[in-house]
Chain A
Amino acid sequence: MRVSFNWLKQYVRFEFAPQDLAHRLTMLGLEVTGVQAVGDDFVFEIDLTPNRPDAMSHLGISREIGALTGQRVKRPEIIPVGMSGETAPLITIHIEDEEDCPRYAARLIKGVTIGPSPQWMQDRLLAVGMRPINNAVDATNYVMLETGQPLHPFDYNRIAGSKIVVRRAHPGEVFVTLDGQARNLDSETLLICDNQKPIAIAGVMGGLDSEVSAETKDVLIESAFFNPKNIHRTSKNLALSTEASQRFERGTDPNGVIYALNRAAELMEELAGGEVVQGTIDKYPKRIEPIRVNLRAARVNQLLGSYLSEGEIGEILQNLEFKIEKSNNLVVEIPTFRPDILREVDLIEEVARIYGYDRIESERTSQIVLFHKPDHRERLSWLVREVLTGLGLFEVVTNSLTDEEARGMVSDFSPAVTIKNPQSRLMSHLRTSLVPGLLRVIARNQHRQQEDIRIFELGRVFHPSENSSPLPQEPTHLSGALTGLSSPRSWVGKSGIISFFHLKGLLEEFFFKILLDNYHFFSYDISELDDRALGIKTDSRLLGYFGHVQRRVLDRFDIEGDVLLFNLYFDEILGLIKWDRVYRPVPQYPFVPRDLSLVVAEKVSAEDLTGLIKEKGGAYLRSVQIVDLYRGEQIPRNKKGLTFSLKFQSQDGTLDDQVVNQIIEDILTDCRTSFNAQLRE
């Protein structure tokens, strides 16, 4: 909203320079976002919060300045107008919907001469951003900017039957507004009609037909109070926001209707000539009375941490035109132009606002809360980020809104949660997997000449609820994607493209660091990965999967080269981690090393062999490591050579060679029978 500095001076005395006033208004909660010099005037752009309809006028802003400086605003006196004739026989008003139109008043001015407004009026309107139309319309707009009460002038002679009816629209009714647009109305839209047809959408915009024009001789001015909710609904439905609707939807003053009406009649007579007809038609079946609110000074100080006396509190409120009905344990009458004040706490805010937030002292101590449950989710989130960045991955943060195509490309999961009113098709679904986002980041970076790209994201995905809950499930996933060299290029020697086993090793390191053991890998089939893929699980739970992304998927994302991917279920992992560890004695005695080179058929898995060795190795076998894989001339085709490095150790003493030899013999025997393994010489 725009406010003129000079205009304000008409209603309240102040010595503030424009910039100073701007600062003071801001500190009152009327945020001034700009001050602009216009001629000899200054125009303030004020960003009003939606709870302050009372401040949407020059008188309203003046009232705030008055409260700040300890004075009351001077409203313009109205010289009695309307000495001739009698309005009542010339117009009848009928309110069908009293709930949405509690008050409707009108005055008639006969014999006006429509023409441009005088220069001073045009300047004022232009300064605050309103286009001058003609003297009749300008008079009503001026009074709206002055008092905050929107008014509407009709060409009296175009009101069929000299009758105003306030009613709800019929379903499917169409109305052409001032701006020439045909509007489809629903049955909750409130209309101002004449005997035959609608002439305005109440509180929002008038119609083309009954507009004041150069030919208009007699003007009927409407001044009304409409239900804010109804106006808000209509304005939103029609996507039509006007100066009038912005005021009505926030709540105008039902008891300010007549003052504004008389003020406009007077001004119109002054600008456009003619004569105001005596008498006001005022349909106000149920008077809206000011409410009373109790206010305890002790409560004020308790909530604010202030030290205000009842007297100081009362004075602040009186300067805001609140009436103090009882000064001991205050009872406050709330003027009807403040629909936002309903409770004690609302008054406390008014006191704080005028007293000044900056004058309330900061309190830097408070009681302490002694107990919080350990927060493992926070702890693991932090750990995961530390470990993965330590393993050479960058954390990324991607959009949770995605498109159906990207989603479908990688995931054969459940259907997605969709957005009813998306900005665009590209952001119409909630992600069901982090993978498409990661692949996009890889593509984008590749297009910017990056080759080694190693990224992860820890974030939520969304799956429609499987039970009756209206809300979807929001599991947290931990996903990563890697492409490029396994280690950075350097002068030492060549580094290869990152392989399946680099990622497998990286995940093993990861689990090692976050204290997760007792997991195992198993062959896994998922649409986004090719056959070089593994799942990860414990006895009962699937923890995730990893492997090579399918070429066709990479092509869709426009990615070059191989990409390795992992997708882990964070919540499952969180549930498995044993945070409390118990110490295991460190071995005292030396270990006995043995290497074992076996030749087996290609189809025998290293994991199975290792498993058997561990089983047969018994309690003394401390570790098994595969240190060589051989295929070539020295062994038959379709066979491979695997060298296992074993370490044996006892907690009770140095192991005897004979004991170890016997264990090795046992292992060999079993490997021969189970896997047809040969000892490689």
Chain B
Amino acid sequence: MMKTFFCSTKHPFIINILIIKTILTVPCRGAVVLPEIIEARGIVKKYGGKYALRGVDLVIEEPMTYALLGPNGAGKTTLLTIILGIASPTSGTVRIMGRDPRDPGVRSRIGYVSQEYGLYELLNGWENALLYARLYGVPTGEARERILKLADKLGIKEALKRRVSSYSGGMKEKLSLIIGFIHDPEILVLDEPTTGMDPGSRRTVWELIMEEKRKGKTILLSTHYMEEADTLADRVGIIDSGKIIAEGSPEELKTKYGPRSVIEVGVEDGVNPEALKELESRVEKVLVSNDRLRVYVEDPDEYVPIVTNILYRYGVRIRRLIVEKPTLEDVLLRLTGRRLEG
């Protein structure tokens, strides 16, 4: 349950952040016992007779970015609200830095960006952000500075004076992020932080998150964007139907659960069904979306000629062909048989 560090280990940074600020230092022959940053064990959540979570363990021992990746209804939001102590689990336990997540002392160290923006529509950006600053006990001057800096980065500085009701979805998401970051918390819980943003904004948010990560923050986020998990996460938990079905670094997951290689073929005018049928009989799996084919194979050297040959025979015109390593999407598809993005 507890992780033991010896006082002489190579974790001076963690020890600084965690020991000094918080935590029980239990000397056991020169050793210090540190609680996990986030520790959720055996979480079960039932709504009526339906399970939203069926026994989830999520443990984050040291500062990192952890991404919960899963399709709609997988149970991501439910798990996050239970970890935050907002909802209570049907069974199971949650500890944050060894303490009850409902403890105000713990809450003041967590930033939460909910999936719903959770903003007051008739207040302007400033008023919304400053309210949360006050709730977190951030001095107004300091808060203003921080809000300005973040808003500038996210490109909504001008909009701060406007009522939130006039914001676009992406702008609301950005303000919501500012609020989550307002008290410079040690732990950030972000429920789908980039949903509804254009690709440019998404990049900006990713940069922001990576910056926090570099500062040694712990970030727990949920997403159904593969690329987001791949870019940001040190660790990814794939969640489906209320269970974490695989966990590891993106690389680990790809090697463990992905195919050896993926042949991606760009075609013109789509693929006819006969060609697809024959392909599927020869390889492990074929994914089709419009003019794009993804063919899962073990040995690309062997299969590239086979694939091109079949396509050629059925008169499919190839525009380009690349041999790739698998992505998280391929992992997810193999594990769940479902795709996340359209």
Partners in one complex: no
Task: List the interface of chain B (C-beta within 8 A of A).
Answer: none
